[in-house]
Amino acid sequence: MYRNTLKSLLTVHASNIPGWRTKRKIVVIESDDWGSIRMPSLKVFETLKKGGVVVGRSHYDLYDSLECNQDLECLFDVLSKFHDKSGRNPVMTGVNVVANPLFDEIKRENYSSYFYEPYTETLKRYPQHDRVYELWKEGIERRLFVPIFHGREHLNVQRWLRALKNGNRSVLFAFENHLTGIGKGIHGERIPNLQAAFDIDTMDDLSYMQEVLNTGLDLFERLYGYRSSYFVPTNGPFNNSLETILWNNGVRYVNSGKIQMEPLGNGQFKKNIRFLGQKNTLGQIYLTRNCFFEPSSSGFEFPTNTDWVNNCLKEIEIAFLWHKPATISSHRVNYIGFLHPENREGIRKTTRH
């Protein structure tokens, strides 16, 4: 990532050297996490805060939530204002999950069984979300915002259930508020990484993850009318033995970090070097990202004065210099205003930069 330093400049150049090349100037925008629950409401935020959970130090805790009608309408409005030399609007890739947990049913079974619902059912319990599913279909039809598969849920189901059954009070407190993703626990209690859906604690976890991929990809097709040929694992960790399941479901492209830390269970990882266009033994093609646009993280993971627009433009410039497509990573949280409308409005201001 370019940070307006010589070291970061050299690193970005070096990381663009290996891999597939093209003389075309291609810009791809991939936006992760759509369809998943996060902070349900401002009321829940305050409840967690009063209960001793450290919230407010992460932009995900503060801003991120299931997308509402106005979030998508605003994004479509911005995208439709721009076009290339052929008159085509930019097409943003929504990296989507398709389901969320059913909290009441899980509690009824004393955390011993897992139940989920399509995210379209989750939308019905939110106050400004009655047209979200129709807006997604509109985005596909207008070629403005087209989804691909991120996972069934943005949740490591087996790890979550183990934490609940073991009595982790922070995870239980979040559960009671219909929330899965919190970064820090009550008064510093350790919380396992619950958002990495395909990380494994032991190799025994893999059989359930095969089910997650099979059912998730089938649900994706039922929701959107086509199979997803591209998969981006939530938070990155992914055991490569699962690539066969992806292949059997029609997935031909897999997103990867340029250094993939493949989880092997029991805290062990294998380092794999990835580059754009590299193929695995099945013939699937690895795709990597080389540009970053995460303005909502300013003041949290990055300094408040981070110049995301010019930094990202520099990364695009470097990508084109090395004849690479510019693939921009930009999470949903940057476009969400359900909890704090000013966060969403930041994108409008950015486009007037």
pLDDT, tens digit (0-9, with 9 covering 90-100), for 291-334: 999 999 999 999 999 999 999 999 999 999 999 999 999 999 99
**In this structure, what token pair is assigned to residue 252?**
């031909």
pLDDT, tens digit (0-9, with 9 covering 90-100), for 42-52: 999 999 999 99
pLDDT for res 292: 98
pLDDT at 353 over 60: no
Q: Please tell me the distance from the alpha carbon of residue 206 to that of residue 236, in angstroms, as a whole number.
A: 16
pLDDT at 115 over 80: yes
Enumerate residues 6+ apart whose C-beta is below 8 A from 328.
27, 28, 29, 30, 289, 291, 292, 293, 312, 316
Q: Please tell me the distance from the alpha carbon of residue 272 to that of residue 114, in angstroms, as a whole number.
A: 32
pLDDT, tens digit (0-9, with 9 covering 90-100), for 202-219: 999 999 999 999 999 999
User: Considering the chain, what percentage of its residues have pLDDT values greater than 90?
Assistant: 93
Using CB atoms within 10 Å of the CB of residue 291, give its burial: 0 to 12 exposed, 13 to 18 middle, 19+ buried: buried
Q: Please tell me the distance from the alpha carbon of residue 244 to that of residue 236, in angstroms, as a whole number.
A: 17
Task: Give the global pTM.
Answer: 0.97
Q: Please tell me the distance from the alpha carbon of residue 144 to that of residue 216, in angstroms, as a whole number.
A: 23
pLDDT at 182 over 90: no
Task: List, in sequence order, every residue forming a beta bridge with 101; answer none if it has no partner.
Answer: 116
Query: Which is nearest to 328 in space by CA: 314, 341, 338, 342?
Result: 314
Instruction: Give the count of beta carbons closer than 10 Å to the beta carbon of residue 89.
Output: 15
Q: Please tell me the distance from the alpha carbon of residue 219 to that of residue 225, in angstroms, as a whole number.
A: 10
Q: Please tell me the distance from the alpha carbon of residue 161 to that of residue 158, in angstroms, as a whole number.
A: 5
